[in-house]
């Protein structure tokens, strides 16, 4: 995650230099460690991996994508990155308000089950959000499979690549 609590203050991993400080997850409240390095995006990671808000350890790709999508979304309207929803125990990648609609952008890089997609989508919908799934490079295939279409529903799929910073839309599927 890009943000953690330092005391009561939310701090961004690349803006903090005091490594001796203790940091906590804004979702579950557990202790997290600051990870800063030359290659990967600065971030926080749970000391004990159990966190209801995080289904698995985040890849660098996911952290980078989240940040880039947030910057792009900010050009469209009021946007926030890493938004905690206590009610459904979820952490949205990016929240965007655009033309009075509330959107959640989920950048999916790792494998996810159809059930998880459905559950997460429905939970956000109950909170009044429309969910847009953006799929990472691992999902991009020359021929999109029926399973992938069924998993993310609808008649379109959107892919996003952090290296090229380009979207790829496949529609009329």
Residues that bind Zn ion (CB under 5 A): 25, 27-28, 51
Q: How far is the CB of 130 from Zn ion (least distance, A)?
A: 25
- Whole-angstrom distance, CA of residue 16 vs CA of residue 61: 21
Instruction: Give 30 or 148: the residue with its C-beta nearer to Zn ion.
Output: 30
Instruction: Give 35 or 138: the residue with its C-beta nearer to Zn ion.
Output: 35
Q: How far is the CB of 21 from Zn ion (least distance, A)?
A: 17
Contact 159, 139 (CB under 8 A): yes
Q: CB-based contacts of 17: which residues, under 8 Å, 6+ apart?
A: none
Residue sitting closest to Zn ion (CB) = 25
* Structure-block tokens of residue 69: 């999508």
Q: How far is the CB of 30 from Zn ion (least distance, A)?
A: 5
- Whole-angstrom distance, CA of residue 61 vs CA of residue 165: 12
Instruction: Give 27 or 65: the residue with its C-beta nearer to Zn ion.
Output: 27
- Whole-angstrom distance, CA of residue 77 vs CA of residue 47: 35
Q: How far is the CB of 151 from Zn ion (least distance, A)?
A: 26
Q: CB-based contacts of 54: which residues, under 8 Å, 6+ apart?
A: 1, 25, 27, 46, 91
Instruction: Give 13 or 25: the residue with its C-beta nearer to Zn ion.
Output: 25
Q: How far is the CB of 28 from Zn ion (least distance, A)?
A: 3
- Whole-angstrom distance, CA of residue 8 vs CA of residue 4: 9
Instruction: Give 81 or 96: the residue with its C-beta nearer to Zn ion.
Output: 81
């Amino acid at each position: 995650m890009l943000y953690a609590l330092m005391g009561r203050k939310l701090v961004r991993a690349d803006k903090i230099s005091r490594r001796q400080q203790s940091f906590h997850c804004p979702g579950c409240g557990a202790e997290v460690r600051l990870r800063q390095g030359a290659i990967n995006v600065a971030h926080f990671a749970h000391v004990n991996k159990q966190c209801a808000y995080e289904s698995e350890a985040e890849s660098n790709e996911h952290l980078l994508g989240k940040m880039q999508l947030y910057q792009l979304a900010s050009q469209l309207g009021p946007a926030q990155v890493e938004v905690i929803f206590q009610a459904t125990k979820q952490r949205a990648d990016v929240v965007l308000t655009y033309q009075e609609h509330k959107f959640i952008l989920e950048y999916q890089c790792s494998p996810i089950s159809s059930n998880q997609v459905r559950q997460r989508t429905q939970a956000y919908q109950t909170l009044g959000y429309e969910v847009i799934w953006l799929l990472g490079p691992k999902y991009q295939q020359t021929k999109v499979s029926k399973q992938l279409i069924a998993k993310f529903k609808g008649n379109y799929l959107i892919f996003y690549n952090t290296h090229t910073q380009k979207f790829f839309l496949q529609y009329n599927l």
